[in-house]
Structure 1
């Protein structure tokens, strides 16, 4: 019975008449009315025809002057059958009771004078009866009503569009209403905590809030209070929104979800009004949960630095949000979840305890967490027996949950494109290369000289990284253009929580291997090392100015974790220190470059063999690298 009731309500909702059909019907009615009036309009004649063909012939029964604008002529019934009135009686919709002819009057006084003069010599019983009436017709009403109606219809359409496409609720008087989507028992989220992998600590804290809503007495008997707000902070794709969806699926309470940008509107006061309306609805359904995604759209800092780019409407919305979270008004039973990947721009008053009591940081997953995430996303995929989750987790360091989901989907697409029945390991490897490096561009035409330079460039990276002990293990080298790059070297990186100075220096040498190989082989350099030089320069500045790894600068760091210095044009150090930093960075890069060139000269034979292999096969696998350069004696060292 309950199911039938839901289906009936759904049909009623789906069968609701769109108001635009009413507007269309009204316009159609107006046009039909005009057409009908046009078809029923009387024939218009002049004074001469009226005088000679009707008045002098004794055909006129009466004359009615309407609004002193025109005169309606009525013909006697026995004269309508005459030949001269045949065109009148043959018209569609002809009636003996309606006016038969019409004369436009320039002046009523002139018409009366002409009529009196024309009836001179008429017997009193033959003179025409003239009456005067004031009449309001539909055509007159519609003539001024129709333009107004079109103007109102146009503005209603514009306002509905500006209201964010909210259907019937986005009328002129609903701008201040909240646009949050309500998830209740009828529209429950299908995501649960089982779908959230690799976030054990974060899940524990969030599950505690869900448990508080289900069993409040267990906590309140000890004097504990429910947290008012929880802030999810982390890089994009780490599962902030997914965690909120899981809360919506697990909690048996109303769940309001919306984006921070939905508070910001072009009309003054709309954002604050929507905040008030949102919390009013949440309090009415308490206990309840509100989720605000990308809260930095409305919660930006109000400090003096942003005075020239401040937005009064955004600040008013933020002030109202602060008051609702923890003001004089009671906020009992409403928990606010928020997510952002830019906590540095949020206002301090928004982050303090009492508003957001808990800050949950979601970091990029480690190897074990990536294995759990792969298991979740591999559930719906028909995979072959050669799939090794351990290998997939090792090949994806620094990948977020969203990146892993993308790799699984790309692998399935690649297998389907090849008409396979199962997704194999090679499809996942290709999908990983596709996500990291971009799509292969075999159609890109390169000259033989350019291809040879690229081969030596990639061989230089491979040889340098192979003989440096603190560089990750090399898996594959390719000179097939992919994305924006003309070649690539694929590594199997290990995860480090700390990086030593020796590791930094070996990584810089591996990055400079391509340019050094061009210099050693051709005694000339090209523009192909742009990306490598950018990474090397950033690493060098990080070592010198941030991590305190330079002897001359010493244990000093000019890193700003708050991000405030970025808003100023100046640097947090003087001109002399800036010169010293630049000099140390330049010396460090030149030293690493000369070290790399020396290493490639020492192993010039291996460099030549690998370059020739790349020119022949375009791709060198791990087995090819071991055959040319031997087994790697020292594996990368972890800290």
Structure 2
């Protein structure tokens, strides 16, 4: 019972030094308001005062500071009914007589003249005495004279307290937190629910990252054998492949403090702030060891030094990078702090950052293959109300080159399309429409074409389809349409094969297929149009890659001018004579394939006309329609090397 009473005793408020400051301020304000000790007198007007003066009620008038008149009544006047409320009051006791009335007047000379005239009327016996006085408030004057110094001292004390306490938190302390790390801490109080089970595909990357998590959980397992825990791992891959998601899974699995921030969080307009934030980040991580630091988009501060002659912000970024290099290299092997970083621009990172001892491992997170896309689809299809029997294998085959983020967007778009059509579940066609929406853009059926334009577009797209049908190395045809999407007036869709290498023949067939649209225009109308702009951009890029990057041109030879680091800058790594040869070979490749496309379409002109007319009628044609018009594709029965390799793998597995 006694313990219970002890707990219920109210705690005394803690003493706060700010109470003293507040008391001093209140004291000065009280002196300013009440320091004169004059009390309060009833207000009156000059006209009423002159009436009281003529009636003989006024004993004395005191003019203060030449602007205020204080009126003192006679004893007889104070007993009158009209003056009953004029008795003066005072908060503080006073030994001097207080005025009954007070008012302010305008011109002093005019006021005195009016009093003198009334005094003449009253006579010498009843004349009112007029006195002059000056009043001042020394405490108030002292307060206003000291106020600027008090404010300066108060601001100085506030700044010193904030700086000595490390800045504190909240919006008011942001200016003092500018050198502090902006990393978001995930620990036992803010658990991350993402685990490796939520990361579909990326088997190789997950395996390496899981080993890092195991390092932190069981360090003795590796250090007992003389091994050292790696200091850093760099996740490298195209955008949307799941680098950040993988880091979230590490945060969810490791069960250790996880500091997450972006490379741009180190960048600031103030000199030295980036380096200060790096120091503070690693200081916090060491204090909470074992811990993980994750820096997303590290290329914001990790760009190779000395690549740009510009100064200013570039120097500040280099200072930040130098501090990061120092902090990473300064770790002992037993601190149990690992740095994870992610970037899609590993080619521009500084070599000192990439060396062993800083980022010991580079984990490549590539675009998902067929099997991995199937796993990613299964993850993102779970929340959808999909139709029964939906073929996930078909969807994964229809999305080559899609990243994990693209597949997530595809599933969402399919659900939105199904909802727009008032469906109860998401069907296969909704996913195909979503692929078209993402790759080609939104349909624009409201666009109005003239008959001449529609005819031209139909022959252009039929030229693409016909040319690709009779080329061995062209990608398999899916469909062709003259319905405008995005910026294109029509499109021919193909399903590219997944291959890690590309032969010269495939490049040439793809260029020929792309030039088939313009070739059809030239063949049928003997004129060309501006509708082939995207085709020309595509073939120029491919021909340039053949000549300058991959060494697939005989005259230029086995040489590449590709520079991923950008060391060359604006300087060409070849002579003017070589530049002329490169230009000539690029043009020769494109023109040769253009003439080849015209030759193919000339042989199949009758089929081209039938296909174009059918396309004008239906607007969209699929592979089955082309087989009906052009016959079975002559190269479908040829077994390709990739298929042979797949058969060998299946036999080995059996």
Match of 1:59 in 2: 58
Q: Tell me how far apart the structure 2 counterparts of residues 378 and 539 of structure 1 sit (CA, whole Å).
A: 36
- The match for 1:433 among 436, 453, 456 is 436
Match of 1:631 in 2: 632
Q: Tell me how far apart the structure 2 counterparts of residues 496 and 473 of structure 1 sit (CA, whole Å).
A: 14
Q: Post-superposition shift, 1:428?
A: 0.4
Match of 2:575 in 1: 574
- The match for 2:70 among 70, 73, 94 is 73
Asked if 1 retains the 8 angstrom alpha-carbon contact of 2:462 and 2:611, the reply is: yes
Match of 1:538 in 2: 541
Deviations 1:288-322 (A, max 9, x none): 11111111222222215444575232222222222
- The match for 2:461 among 448, 451, 458 is 458
Cα 1:74–1:361, aligned 2, differ >3 Å: closer, same or farther? farther
Match of 1:387 in 2: 390
Aligned with 2:356: secondary structure?
Answer: coil
- The match for 1:363 among 366, 374, 397 is 366
Q: Post-superposition shift, 1:489?
A: 1.0
Aligned with 1:588: secondary structure?
Answer: helix
Q: Tell me how far apart the structure 2 counterparts of residues 55 and 323 of structure 1 sit (CA, whole Å).
A: 95
Cα 1:601–1:124, aligned 2, differ >3 Å: closer, same or farther? closer
Aligned with 2:302: secondary structure?
Answer: coil
Q: Tell me how far apart the structure 2 counterparts of residues 319 and 69 of structure 1 sit (CA, whole Å).
A: 73
- 1:180 pairs with 2:183: yes
Match of 2:37 in 1: none
Task: Calculate the aligned-residue CA RMSD, in Å.
Answer: 3.8
Match of 2:563 in 1: 560
Q: Tell me how far apart the structure 1 counterparts of residues 108 and 279 of structure 2 sit (CA, whole Å).
A: 65
Match of 2:552 in 1: 549
Q: Tell me how far apart the structure 1 counterparts of residues 250 and 309 of structure 2 sit (CA, whole Å).
A: 35
Q: Tell me how far apart the structure 1 counterparts of residues 326 and 107 of structure 2 sit (CA, whole Å).
A: 71
Deviations 1:347-403 (A, max 9, x none): 222222222211112111111111111111111111112421111111111111100
Asked if 2 retains the 8 angstrom alpha-carbon contact of 1:511 and 1:536, the reply is: yes
Match of 1:494 in 2: 497
Cα 1:220–1:449, aligned 2, differ >3 Å: closer, same or farther? same
The 10-residue stretch of structure 1 (127-136 or 365-374) with the greater mean CA deviation from structure 2: 127-136
Match of 1:621 in 2: 622
Match of 2:298 in 1: 295
Aligned with 1:311: secondary structure?
Answer: helix
**Bigger radius of gyration, 1 or 2?**
2
Match of 1:602 in 2: 603
Match of 2:246 in 1: 243
Normalised to the residue count of structure 1, the TM-score between the two structures is: 0.80
Asked if 1 retains the 8 angstrom alpha-carbon contact of 2:186 and 2:251, the reply is: yes
Deviations 1:480-539 (A, max 9, x none): 000000111111221111111111111111000100000111111101111111111111
After superposition, where does 1:116-131 map in structure 2 within 5 Å? none
Asked if 2 retains the 8 angstrom alpha-carbon contact of 1:462 and 1:477, the reply is: yes
Q: Post-superposition shift, 1:72?
A: 6.3
Aligned with 1:275: secondary structure?
Answer: helix
Deviations 1:232-282 (A, max 9, x none): 111110111111111111111111111111221222222222222222222
Q: Post-superposition shift, 1:213?
A: 1.2
Aligned with 2:582: secondary structure?
Answer: helix
Asked if 2 retains the 8 angstrom alpha-carbon contact of 1:196 and 1:243, the reply is: yes
Match of 2:12 in 1: none
After superposition, where does 1:396-411 map in structure 2 within 5 Å? 396-411=399-414
Match of 1:468 in 2: 471
Q: Tell me how far apart the structure 1 counterparts of residues 641 and 107 of structure 2 sit (CA, whole Å).
A: 106
Identify unmatched segments of 5+ residues in structure 2: 1-28, 34-39, 88-96, 160-168, 643-654
Asked if 1 retains the 8 angstrom alpha-carbon contact of 2:467 and 2:597, the reply is: yes
Q: Tell me how far apart the structure 2 counterparts of residues 255 and 87 of structure 1 sit (CA, whole Å).
A: 77
Q: How many residue pairs were aligned?
A: 571
Asked if 2 retains the 8 angstrom alpha-carbon contact of 1:64 and 1:132, the reply is: no
Cα 1:590–1:53, aligned 2, differ >3 Å: closer, same or farther? same
Normalised to the residue count of structure 2, the TM-score between the two structures is: 0.79
Identify unmatched segments of 5+ residues in structure 1: 1-29, 35-39, 90-95, 157-165
After superposition, where does 1:275-294 map in structure 2 within 5 Å? 275-294=278-297
Q: Tell me how far apart the structure 1 counterparts of residues 139 and 66 of structure 2 sit (CA, whole Å).
A: 12
Match of 2:485 in 1: 482
